[in-house]
Amino acid sequence: MITKLLVANRGEIARRVFASCRRLGIETVAVHSDADAALPFVREADQAIRLPGSTPAETYLRADLVLEAARRSGADAIHPGYGFLSENADFAQAVIDAGLTWVGPAPDSIVRMGSKVESKSLMAAAGVPVLTNLTVESATEADLPLLVKASAGGGGRGMRIVRTLADLAAEIDIASAEAASAFGDGTVFVEPYVESGRHVEVQVLGHSGGVLVLGERDCSLQRRHQKVVEEAPAPHLPQAVRAALHEAARAAAAAIDYRGAGTVEFLYDPVAERFFFLEMNTRLQVEHPVTELVHGVDLVELQITVAEGQPIDSGLDAVGGRYG
């Protein structure tokens, strides 16, 4: 059982994790940069450890300093929050190697879902619908329009819409350069662009007994490929499509024996009433409170429960989730 948990993050998400820990009787540890020393999340923790420096690169992104803070504080678990080191498989492994409980998915799951190219291949093998990967040589006029996407990262960077085949090679070069600059990885891929596509993501929780699906969120309202509004449940979604989305998300998580909270993102074509796997976020998301409010659950508490190896309460099925 976890008795003292360090949050390797700052601000709102640190406060959110602390709130669940207080209710569960778990002591909390904050880490903070010099610039953040006076912020509320530092005061709300039972203990605070300074990370010398002011920038994220000097502090919150320093896995060695975070692990040393855990050792000094006597914490027996680390929650990564979102951003920073939350999807860093090496950090997750280092936490485990230090004998601490990692409140997140297995490092292998982070690696396998970290590449959009590899994850698409995995999902196709698991029977989850994916868009066809295309190349300069294989793409035809019938495939247009196309979308060039970065394999790593997100936030709309490394993405280019292509409407003529003559532009494809040049757009691949531009997207690759942008991806390399933003993420340190210039790998890109090409797939059909769904003009009327909606972005629908499914909240999952993998545990020892299977995969709990806690509904979906529609995040189609975006600016520059970045989410602006999240709505749950997704509006104007045929019930058969909703059920199929949930089943596909369950299959995606089960395919990698996923443990913990995660989000499986899909592109939904409302004209054809078809959906396609986009990616899986192997962490808690900024928008997790939308699901919590709709379904009446505490996702942070569920993360901790899974990390402790405890069974998930079957009563959750009554609030909208279901077990796979």
pLDDT category of residue 320 using cuts at 50, 70 and 90: very low
| Residue positions counted in the chain | 324
**In DSSP terms, which residues pair with 262 in a beta bridge?**
204
In Å, what is the CA distance from 289 to each residue of 17, 230, 306?
12, 10, 19
Mention every residue, 6+ apart, whose C-beta is less than 8 A from residue 242.
216, 233, 234
Alpha helices, H only, 89-229: 89-97, 107-114, 116-125, 168-183
Q: How far apart are CA 74 and CA 211, in angstroms?
A: 32
- 83 and 226 share one domain: no
Question: Is residue 134 a part of any domain in this protein?
Answer: no
Domain hosting 296: range is: 111-128+195-323
Set 15, 274, 283, 322: catalytic member: 283
- 222 and 268 share one domain: yes
Tokens 């294989």 -> residue: 138
Q: What is the pairing mode between strands 222-223 and 226-227? A: antiparallel
Mention every residue, 6+ apart, whose C-beta is less than 8 A from residue 149.
116, 158, 159, 175, 188, 189, 190, 191
Q: How far apart are CA 172 and CA 241, in angstroms?
A: 33
CA of residue 293 relative to chain centroid, distance:
19
Digit-coded pLDDT (tens) for 238-254: 999 999 999 999 999 99
- 241 and 210 share one domain: yes
pLDDT category of residue 222 using cuts at 50, 70 and 90: confident
- 85 and 18 share one domain: yes
pLDDT category of residue 279 using cuts at 50, 70 and 90: very high
Confidence at residue 324, expressed as pLDDT on a 0 to 100 scale: 37
Give 184's DSSP letter: S
Q: How far apart are CA 13 and CA 1, in angstroms?
A: 22
Query: Model pTM?
Result: 0.91
- 86 and 212 share one domain: no
322 labelled catalytic: no
Say which residue, 153 or 287, is predicted with more confidence.
287
